Structure 1
Amino acid sequence: MKGVDERGGTARTLLDPDEVEGVLSGAFYTPAEARPRAKALPAERPQHYKVICISLYTEDLERLDEMVNALKARGITKANRSALIRHALSQVDLDKVPRGL
């Protein structure tokens, strides 16, 4: 179906009203329970790590960020908070941890 543009008379293609009604009534206006459901793919989550939340004092975060920035300045471009914490964990000697931790 052709129409006339109200600004200057340029012809343009309009959508067929019957087609629009068919799409809207078949999908948009159909109750959710009547619509065909797409099968949701199972969320494949990585098994080798988990995202967690920990609390740190702002001073500790500032120190951690300074250390990360220093490592990056030395050319260790993949340095980040998580990597530095993982490295620090690998260095901990539990026999040397103070009792009043």
Structure 2
Amino acid sequence: MKHEGEFSEAAHALLDRDEVEGVLSGAFYTPAGKPSARAPKPAAERPTHYKVICISMYTDDLERLDEMVEALKARGLTKASRSALIRHALEQVDLEKVPKGI
């Protein structure tokens, strides 16, 4: 007759904890009709014409940018945004006039 410790070791060798928890959470602990939290989501197509980036800006510059966006919105340009204003500014840049200390 096996002792409790021997049974436990045999059970651990046979069953993978993550697999058991996945089955239990997906089949037994999920309300009927609702997908489990572990169910894979279908891959969404990502747009290729733009990328989301992160840049750092000084708080004073960011405040100025936000004030400019608000001024444009007050003029009726309801689609004005930080990124739209930055894109417009990029179109206006003359690289020959950019100071050397930039």
| TM value normalised by structure 2 | 0.62
Structure 2 residue runs without a partner (length 5+) = 1-23, 30-37
Structure 1 position 43, deviation (Å): 2.4
- Where do 1:39-78 residues align within 5 Å? 40-78=41-79
- Where do 1:17-56 residues align within 5 Å? 27-28=27-28, 40-56=41-57
Runs of 4+ deviating beyond 2 Å: 37-43
Q: Which structure carries more helix by proportion? A: 2
Q: Distance in 2 between matches of 1:26 and 1:95?
A: 62
Q: Distance in 2 between matches of 1:53 and 1:25?
A: 37
Letter of the aligned partner of 1:63 in structure 2?
R
Identity %: 80
Q: Distance in 2 between matches of 1:78 and 1:90?
A: 18
| TM value normalised by structure 1 | 0.62
Structure 1 position 75, deviation (Å): 0.6
Alpha carbons of structure 1 residues 44 and 64: separation in structure 2 relative to 1, 3 Å = same
Structure 1 position 41, deviation (Å): 2.2
User: Cα RMSD between the aligned structures?
Assistant: 2.5
Structure 1 residue runs without a partner (length 5+) = 1-23, 30-36
